[in-house]
Structure 1
């Protein structure tokens, strides 16, 4: 299945961030006709092909309204997410709920709202930005939320297969953006991650592993837990939210 971005209409959540900005700009570079740049506080893009759109994905009515306004969309990029400081499974519970509400329920809400529109455009594509943290278990609400969204991505693929919607999981470790600035670890560029994600759209991928660490981790998931987790614990020593 070959899917080019030529002439496509793209909807990007979290469009103001470093990764979101790349999703917007690279979509146009690859021939997209129009991009809806959705964010809680939209910015001025100074390009008539980019339509800023106010959207809080935690607001069900706002998501419904966005899907109505952007009814011509055939590619949805679920990029919005939060990763608060001092994130821990120990709580507070209110913080954990806020992370799950955004990173799981908010993204799932967007996917479900746009699915009927995608069906009218031959199926279209949903690209969910996930994380290698889905497979590690960092002891954070963020990693739990991304693990849940990884599972939801696989579930959406089954749910939407009859309408021929391509559902892609884009997994990556640390990206050089403002969200990860507090961690002094090797990072990949936002441009590289987005380029690989859009390559996946074009070549019909179901999963894109966007850096060497993520590819290496995926290859180890068949190891016994008694072997894998001590190794991960040693590698992640000192890595705290």
Structure 2
């Protein structure tokens, strides 16, 4: 079973008039420019419990950091609690922040699901407008389509960015191991949620796959819309989920 955590993995101004008045002030023009172009998500490390069929089955660690060269690195590692559980996930994404968008550069994955093992690297060549994965049995290459495109990890960061900005269009084109796939999210509402690290006001989102698998996620406003809980149901039964157990900000 594909780990739902890997699927995993946003500020409002009061009125338009207030924005225009503030931005028109000569004393803040330079400040406004810096704030608009700044990456909205802070570096962090978060740990999640992973459950499968109602049983605690492992832990997932998510870490976002800024590299020395100014780029960003986001990685997730999911390990089983017991050795006989047949899954292991290591994923990472290197990306840049440019013109208010996340531009993925490389998405690396090393995934074991039972007897199936897959490993590869999806690279984004923005200069030549291509995406490729040369490390799989049948090398894959595609043209970067118009509009926003993310990898399997930066999709979650872009979703958080959109929630911070108050956007309602939560549809993303995602480059997976050897194909492009659309993901759409629906806002179900707001909910006050109690977790192991505190109680948060959250935005509740839903994604329904083509097969009808339903994934519901809770994003904590206070933590820059970090996902703090997720459940997945298939045929009306909960099959997997995850919930945050620790969170720590990191130095950028």
TM-score (norm 1): 0.32
Q: Which structure has greater helix proportion?
A: 1
TM-score (norm 2): 0.31
**Higher Cα radius of gyration:** 2
Q: Which structure has greater strand proportion?
A: 2
